[in-house]
Structure 1
Amino acid sequence: MTSAIADEFERHRPRLFGLAYRMTGSADEAEDTVQDAYLRFSGADRAAIEHPAAWLAKVVTNLCLTRLTSARARRERYVGTWLPEPVVTSDGTLGPLESAEQRDAVSLAMLILLERLTPTERAVYVLREAFGYGHREIADALDLTEANSRQLYRRAVHRIGEPRSRFEPASPERQEELVTTFLTAAREGDLAGLEKLLADDVTWWSDGGGKVSAALRPIEGREKVVRFLVGIAQKFTADLHFTVAEVNGMSGLAAWAGDSLVGVLGFERRDGLIVRVRAIVNPDKLEYAARQLTRP
């Protein structure tokens, strides 16, 4: 019986992880949440679970709501900029990403926008946008009325802003070309090359969490970002090596010191130029991506 329960749960695990990750912005917390859901599932009265997928989604969503409440307090004390944990998406971890809209839904940019929402607004928005739930299903999952679900959804859409894709249509090859060209220019301290790649209003965000050295505030503007990159060019060349990886739906860079993953860079483009760079270097936030990238 235990094996049958485990097998049934495993069929739902990828979807549950995707839900928990979108809710929390943390791969580590998503894994813990899914494990907690398994323990509840394995101990539940089977006769009382008519639709396992819906039952599990409700459990995971409500576990995430509890986690988000405590996470907000922790983030108020966070050292420097808080960024979501990066996830490598080329292995299907967050489901198929066949369109710009699907990539946008798992992007670092979207996860940051979701931080504007209350936990319940976030739950409604994620269930509606990412998983296609109807408002009746959302109301059942969150113990709301349908009218309240619709109201929370409208409020969430307003807070996030007008829908717009943060991903320009571009082939994986074109994305990778932009990232590798950026890396080459940064390594070589090529000012002119960097200036051609960066938008005037480009911003560089770093998340070290107080664990490693990182800029505590965003670096804004092409000139400042170029100076910053040239200043660390020696580090790029001497101590680290880089690999291209699909990070949250788009080509990014993984930075390695030997066999240790020490950073992940996510890029956001506009009009063919890099407009945002998000560098996650907090080692606590790299453990999941490191396992993905080193998995045989």
Structure 2
Amino acid sequence: MSEKDVLAERFEANRSKLRAVAYRMLGSSAEADDAVQEAWLRLSRTDTTGVDNLAAWLTTVVGRICLDMLRSRGSRHEESLDARTVEPVATTDDSTDPEQQALLADSIGLALLVVLETLTPTERLAFVLHDMFAVSFDEIAPILGRSPAAARQIASRARRRIQADAATPEADVSRQRAIVEAFLAAARGGEFTALLAMLDPDVVIRADSAAARIGAADRMAGAAELRGATAVAGFFSGRAGAARLAIIDGAPGAVVVLGNQTRLVLSFIITGGRIIGVDVVADPEQVRELDITMVDG
């Protein structure tokens, strides 16, 4: 058996898992097949003599391919989820283990695929690889171009979005932006009632230790979390004067810039037209790793 035949055999042994990863990432059987085929092409062109764990290497390659495909969707402004149908789990690969195919069908229904579609590409990759395939954050971090700690934070944010309300995810970025803009305006104006109207009753603020040290969480009484619409509305009422609208890792949020330096980042989690969570990050290393685009206006 030639070296290429051996490589092909090892690839086929991993095909089923690779396709499962790609399908969860992309929500399309055809695109998943394309991603797996691209992974084979890259493998066939690569010297793998230094690769100790081929399965992990292939998973990383497929992850990068899928991330590029998801980002390409956004840059082409492809149709929203409402305008296209998420495909059910299916395969035309007769060599796929029936037991593995059954596990795939049981583990990812259309409802979860719909929720995954609402995540940003980085959130989706971090969540899928870690929570569904137990890939370590040390392995996920290089794919995202972030540190393991940042990858963990991204997966945690994705998890909260999914757990919040899988039935009514907020997928419309324009609507999310409008909600964040309205919330910041109400906060600056001290409009407590308006803030309450935009908050879920069980909304949670989570602030990192750096945010607390610079006084961003002084009304949280030293706690890492603040829960409840009344408490959160009180926290923001009369504040956010220096906050500017921004796109953070693909989703609308806000930043506080002082002396040309981003000091605070607020990421909003929105479901069903209401804010269910706000992450406040001030750790300089974490802030530097976020993809932040300022929004004029």
Structure index of larger Rg: 2
